[in-house]
Amino acid sequence: MENEIKTTETESDSEIREFTGLFDRQAFEATHVNYITPEKCSFTDCKGYLTMTDKAGGGGPERVMLHLLFPYSSRRTLVSVLNGSQEEIGLISDIDLFEGDDLAAIEKEIDRKYFIRTILKILEIKDKNGITTWRVEERAGDTEDVADFSLKDTYGSIFKVDEKRLLITDQDGNRYEIPDIGALDHKSYRRIELYL
């Protein structure tokens, strides 16, 4: 059988070449960006998820997911559009290229995926055997509240995005941000300073 396979390999040269060509084409597609623009596609919010309609290609709306390429520094530029198999269909260079319902649908999907609360004030941080429990005043959308959360590995859970901005991920995976560490009140700053 081994000999037979060898023979087949020789005879299947063209298929191998064809496959190489296909692979090269896939590699080319993977390395060349397909920009999604309002002329090509439209987006619809389906009460909790997003669909995209390819205007040029025809066909019905397809469920898509969005993935921010620079989630910390930009929520509006370089947004990858993925299909159900998590493969990239294309890239939105700037969501502001879209308008009206399209833009609103995109924004809603980003908000759903990258939901984040803003910390306004740190009321208390208690450190018990390496697990810190936090009590903060936070804002999500237009709702302000006092929230408690805990960090299992405090240092590892605080990510300094830049000189000003901090991102905190609690033990459940919820995200909180402090947009400007310098704008915190003195007491809040003193409380968090130790973990920076």
Partner 1 sequence: MLQISRLGSEHQTVLTEHFSDGDVRLVALADLDRNARPAETVLALVGDRLAVITGRIDLVKAGDLRRAPGRVFAEEDFFEAELSDVKRIYLEELISTARLMAETSEGLVCLAVSSFSRRNDLLLFVKYYKKAVAGEDISGDPEDFSPELFCPRCGRRYMYAASKSCPYCESNAGLFRKFGIFVKKYRLQLMTMLGLLLLVSGIGVVTPYFSSAFFYDKVLTPGNQFYGKVIMVVLIVAGVSILGIFVNMAAKIITAKMAGFLVYDLKVTIFESMKRLSLDFFTSRQTGGLMTQINEDAASIHWFFVDGLSYYVVSIAQILVVAVIMFVMQPYLALLCVTVLPLFFWLALKTLRKQHYYHFKRHASSRKFSGRLTDAMGAIRVTKAFAMEEQECEGFEKVTLGLADTARQITIFRNTAPPALHMVMFLSTLLVWGVGGWLTMTGRMTYGFFAAFLSYCGMLNSPLYSLADMMDSFADCANAMRRLFEIYDAEPGVRESDRPVVKEAMEGKVEFRNVCFSYEKNRRIIDNVSFKILPGQKIGIVGHSGAGKSTLANLLLRLYDTEEGEILIDDVNVKDLPLDFMRRNISIVSQETYIFEGTIYENIAYACEGASRADVVEAARSAGAHEFIVKLEEGYETKVGAGGHNLSGGEKQRISIARAILKKPRILVLDEATASMDTKTERMIQMSLDSLSEGLTTITIAHRLSTLKNADRIIVIENGRLYEEGTAKELILQDGIYRRLYLLQTAAMKNIIQDPEEQRKAIAEEEKAGENRQKTAAMLATALGE
Which of 171, 138, 166, 173 has the alpha carbon at shortest distance from 154? Answer: 171
Does 194 contact partner 1 by CB under 8 A? yes
Distance in Å, CB of 139 to partner 1, minimum: 10
Does 80 contact partner 1 by CB under 8 A? no
Does 111 contact partner 1 by CB under 8 A? yes
Residues 6+ apart with CB under 8 A from 113: 65, 66, 67
Read off the amino acid at residue 41. Answer: C
Distance in Å, CB of 37 to partner 1, minimum: 25
Does 9 contact partner 1 by CB under 8 A? yes
Does 69 contact partner 1 by CB under 8 A? no
Distance in Å, CB of 22 to partner 1, minimum: 8
Which of 184, 180, 177 has the alpha carbon at shortest distance from 164? Answer: 180
Q: Which of residues 115-174 bind partner 1 (CB under 8 A)?
A: 115-116, 126-133, 140-143, 145, 148, 150, 152-153, 155-156, 169, 171-174
Does 49 contact partner 1 by CB under 8 A? yes
> Which CB atom, from 80 or from 195, has the smaller least distance to partner 1?
195
Contact in structure between 120 and 136 (CB atoms under 8 Å): yes
Binding residues for partner 1, rule: CB under 8 A, are: 1, 4-5, 7-9, 11-21, 23, 46-49, 63, 71, 86, 108, 111-116, 126-133, 140-143, 145, 148, 150, 152-153, 155-156, 169, 171-175, 193-196
